[in-house]
A and B are shown apart, each in its own frame.
Chain A
Amino acid sequence: MLCSAPAGKSASNWLDRLRSNRGIPTGDDLDLDSFLANYPDPTSSDSFHSISQHTHSTKNRTRGSEISAADARPTMSSVLAELFNVGGSLSRSSKLSGKKCPRKQTNPKSFVASSSLRYSSSIECCARKDENAPATNSSNHDAAELKEENLDCCDVEEEKDNGGNELRGFSKSEVTVIDTSCPGWKVEKFVFRKNNVWKVRERKGKSKFFAKKKSKGTFGFDNHHNTAVQKKEHKHLEYQFDSSLEKDREFITPSTLVRAFIAFLYFAQIFMIS
């Protein structure tokens, strides 16, 4: 059952009436962050009735419970960050660190609110990349060094899957080589590299990993790992292909709409106060 607006408040402004209709607390001192912390996902099994109950109980919560709830639920700022796809620029961690975030996104990405698990893995991937990315004002030499470090990381990962002692620690890449002195001209080979040591192996038949990869799309390189690494790469591939695979999907879900609506209210309030 919806919370009806109190009779005494009928003469209040449109914003209050709207809030009342939607079960959102009214007044000038409302804490939207706390409200959102308790605002359930409409797509979950909770009924709308329970939303209003949660809303009314917000003021009775202790400070400790607020903190835990805030940890468990996204804050207003993080909701805004999600809505406007600004990466971590508005996240609490960046606020605490005191760093001024760039105005533009460093890693533009598709917003897929329907799949929170994948979304979080995408963000993790972005964050990892950011850490490794060279500073914009650094010299080429520094950038090259950083890249070298990245490759070393990659080598460590691949060390596990190569299995054979001979190629332990080598990075593995697949290349298509055209050699007009070969009978077939076109040969697919594996290149193993460890610093300046190169080993070349002919690719014998299609591995199951390759076949799987092919259905995903075309990549310059394929790194074939064991299951754990493969899962990791699978996540990575999902991130890489988000923009193409999710192109035709509906990004706006009911949850997004509700959050957008709340954000609108939030901004409207700020606008009216100012």
Chain B
Amino acid sequence: MGPVRGLKKRRNPEKNHDENGSASLVPSKEGPLDWWIEFSKRINGHQQSPPKELDNFESVFRISRRTFEYICSLVKDDMMAKSAHFVFTNGKPMSIYDQVAVALRRLGSGESLVTIGDSFGLNHSTVSQVTWRFVESMEERGLQHLQWPSTEAEIISIKSKFEKVRGLPNCCGVIDVTHITMCLPASEPTSNVWLDHEQNHSMILQAIVDPDMRFRDIVTGWPGKMKDWLVFESSNFYKLCDKGERLNGRKLKLSGGSEIREYIVGDSGYPLLPYLVVPYDGKELSEPKMEFNKRHFATRMIAQRALTRLKEMWRIIQGVMWRPDKHKLPRIILVCCLLHNIVIDMEDEVQDELSLSHNHDNGYHQLICGAVDVNGASLRDNLSLLLAGRLPP
């Protein structure tokens, strides 16, 4: 089945243009093409020895021009509302393209405010203000790019794609956690709560990912000391599932009278629940269980790749952040996730060139939760037998 959601989203930008006349992409006298010519000259002018890749738009921003223009259209109204005071050091006012370019560069490169300010001919405080305004605007305007599938067609498509990956039927998502590491003052007692099991100060990002590596649900802001299962149990996704308001769609009927409900998969850091399937643990597993674990692992890899790509694309959350504002950081993470999804929704060609690495949390060991729900165990056994061909569909 074709990428239903992708097609839909691809149409969204055009729809937005039609509905909202102000979303026109000609906010100033110069068009995007003219803008880039001048902007690249400015970048190269401020570099002592400009590298050749700065001549190329995709090399600088790692998104296509089309995606860039769409993002500009999303945030234009907010960014241009009071932008008169955003000027380059030479006094020239910043256009919407300039502002979005600066913000994307800050989020994408993770370079310091001073470095970006120097390379773009801006004061570092301007870089900070423009980036934050972009974040505030994006978290309002880009929300439609990150949501749990709401239509039957969407969920059918997701299940079908997951089944094509490694055969898991009726699977609706993969859950995983990554850590956004921070450098906090060790002398501050409150820093301790952010110290995770690998002795890094970090903030947690929990994501449920669809087969296209699109984030469908995220939870972030919790301190690194919280274990994966606690973050999950604190999430609204968990509450909705528990109340039967999520993952409550069509069940797969098996011939023996048993059935396989909708579920997501996660690693051993999560409990085995009726709607969350984790791998079998132990060394001496039966053949069906080992086979199940292999398929389970391959499916989980999608989430690991998605989180790796997120950090590679939006490097502000990749390295160790120097004493970030912990109330602002979740919002920056959210916007990075939104941008990640926009790149997928726009079917940006740039994503094809990205690596498929899956090491998003370097140095972090697997946590083991170990909690088992009886219904969850039954679901996992049914899946295992079904995949081994011992349970006819």
A contacts, CB < 8 Å to B: 129, 132-134, 140, 143-144, 147-148, 150-151, 153-154, 171, 173, 175-182, 185-186, 188, 191, 193, 198, 200, 218, 220-221, 223
Structural contact, A193 and B225, CB atoms closer than 8 A? yes
Report how far A64 CA is from B193 CA in the complex, Å: 52
A173 / chain B contacts, CB cutoff of 8 Å: 190, 193, 223
Question: Is A144 in contact with B189, judged by CB distance below 8 angstroms?
Answer: no
Assess whether B333 is interfacial by the CB under 8 Å rule: yes
Q: Which of B192, B195, B222 contacts A177 (CB 8 A)?
A: B222
Q: Is B59 in the interface zone, CB < 8 Å from A?
A: no
Chain A residues with Cβ under 8 A from B270's Cβ?
none
CB distance from B7 to the nearest CB of A (A): 23
> In angstroms, how far is the closest chain A Cβ from the Cβ of B285?
30
Tell me, rounded to whole Å, the shortest Cβ–Cβ distance linking A128 to chain B.
9
B222–A220 CB distance below 8 A: no
B22 at the interface (CB under 8 A from A): no
**A175 with B217: CB separation less than 8 A:** no
B298-338 interface (Cβ within 8 A of A)? 324-328, 330-331, 333-334
Given A151-B189, A153-B189, A186-B331, residue A175 in contact with residue B230 (CB < 8 A): no
User: B interface, by DSSP: helix, strand, loop or mixed?
Assistant: mixed
Knowing that A147-B189, A147-B191 are A-B contacts, what are 17 other residue pairs whose CB atoms are under 8 Å apart, sorted by A's residue number?
A140-B199, A150-B192, A154-B190, A173-B223, A175-B221, A177-B234, A178-B330, A180-B148, A180-B217, A181-B148, A181-B236, A181-B246, A185-B334, A191-B193, A193-B193, A220-B184, A221-B193
Instruction: Report how far A230 CA is from B223 CA in the complex, Å.
Output: 24
Among B235, B236, B246, chain A packs the most CB atoms within 10 A around the CB of B236
Rounded to whole angstroms, the CA-CA distance of A143 and B235 in the bound complex is 32
Residue among A133, A143, A177, A193 with max Cβ neighbours from chain B (10 Å):
A177
- Known A-B contacts A144-B199, A176-B221, A181-B240; A223 and B235 likewise in contact (beta carbons under 8 Å): no
How far does the Cβ of B326 sit from chain A's closest Cβ, in whole Å? 4
Bound-complex Cα distance A218 to B237 (A): 30
Residue contact B190 to A198, C-beta cutoff 8 Å? no
Q: Which residues of A contact B240 (CB under 8 A)?
A: 181
Q: Is B286 an interface residue (CB 8 A)?
A: no
Q: Which residues of B contact A221 (CB under 8 A)?
A: 190, 193, 326
Residues of B within 8 A of A153 (CB): 189
- Inter-chain contacts of A144 with B (CB < 8 A): 195, 199
Chain B residues near A185 (CB-CB < 8 A): 139, 143, 334
Q: Judging by beta carbons under 8 Å apart, are A150 and B189 in contact?
A: yes
Out of B191, B195, B221, which one reaches A178, CB within 8 Å? B221
B147 contacts the other chain (CB 8 A): yes
C-alpha gap A191/B226 in the complex (Å) = 10
Given contacts A147-B195, A191-B223, contact A176 B189 (CB under 8 A): no
The answer to whether the Cβ of B219 comes within 8 Å of any Cβ in the partner chain is yes
**B:212-245 near A, CB below 8 Å:** 217-223, 225-226, 230, 234-237, 240
B187 beta carbon closer than 8 Å to chain A? yes
Residues of chain A lying within 8 A (CB to CB) of residue B220: 177-178
Within 8 Å by CB of A147, from B139, B192, B222, B328, lies B192
Q: Is the CB of B326 within 8 A of A175?
A: yes
Q: How far is the CA of A150 from the CA of B187 in the complex (A)?
A: 8
Majority-rule SS of A interface residues: mixed
Query: In the complex the two chains form, what is the Cα distance from A181 to B240 in whole Å?
Result: 8
B187/A171 in contact, CB under 8 A: no
B187: nearest chain-A partner, CB-CB: A129
Complex: A46 Cα to B221 Cα, angstroms:
58
* Interface check B146, CB cutoff 8 A: yes
Question: B84 in the interface, Cβ–Cβ < 8 Å?
Answer: no
Q: Are B187 and A178 touching (Cβ within 8 A)?
A: no
Minimum Cβ distance to chain A for residue B192 (Å): 4
Query: For residue B33, which residues in chain A have a CB less than 8 angstroms away from its CB?
Result: none
The 11 sampled A-B contact pairs (Cβ below 8 Å) are A129-B187, A147-B195, A154-B190, A173-B193, A177-B221, A179-B218, A179-B219, A181-B148, A193-B225, A218-B327, A220-B190
- Chain A residues with CB below 8 A from B328, complex form: 218
Interface hub of A150, A175, A188, A200 (most chain B Cβ within 10 A): A175
CB distance from B178 to the nearest CB of A (A): 14
Q: How far is the CB of A188 from chain B (nearest CB, A)?
A: 8
Q: Are B331 and A178 in contact (CB under 8 A)?
A: yes
B219 touches A178 (CB 8 A): yes
B1 located at the interface, meaning its Cβ lies under 8 Å from any Cβ of chain A in the complex:
no
B222 touches A175 (CB 8 A): yes
A129 to B189, CA, bound (A): 10
Is A180 in contact with B327, judged by CB distance below 8 angstroms? no
Chain B nearest CB, measured from A168 CB (Å): 18
- Minimal Cβ-Cβ distance residue in A for B192: A151
CB closest chain-A residue, reference B191: A147
Name the contact of B234 in the complex, choosing from A151, A200, A220 (C-beta under 8 A). Answer: A200
In angstroms, Cα B218 to Cα A200, docked, is 18
Most A Cβ at <10 Å: residue of B218, B327, B331: B327
Residues of A close to B217: CB separation below 8 A: 180-181
Closest Cβ of chain B to A184, distance in Å, is: 10
Interface flag for B186 (CB, 8 Å): yes
Instruction: Give A129 to B188 CA distance when docked, in angstroms.
Output: 9
Residues of A within 8 A of B186 (CB): 133-134, 143, 147
Bound-state CA distance A220–B185 (Å) is 11
The answer for the CA separation of A175 and B148 in the assembled complex, in Å, is 24
- Cα A214 to Cα B79 in complex, Å, equals 25
Q: Which residues of B contact A181 (CB under 8 A)?
A: 148, 217, 219, 235-237, 240, 246
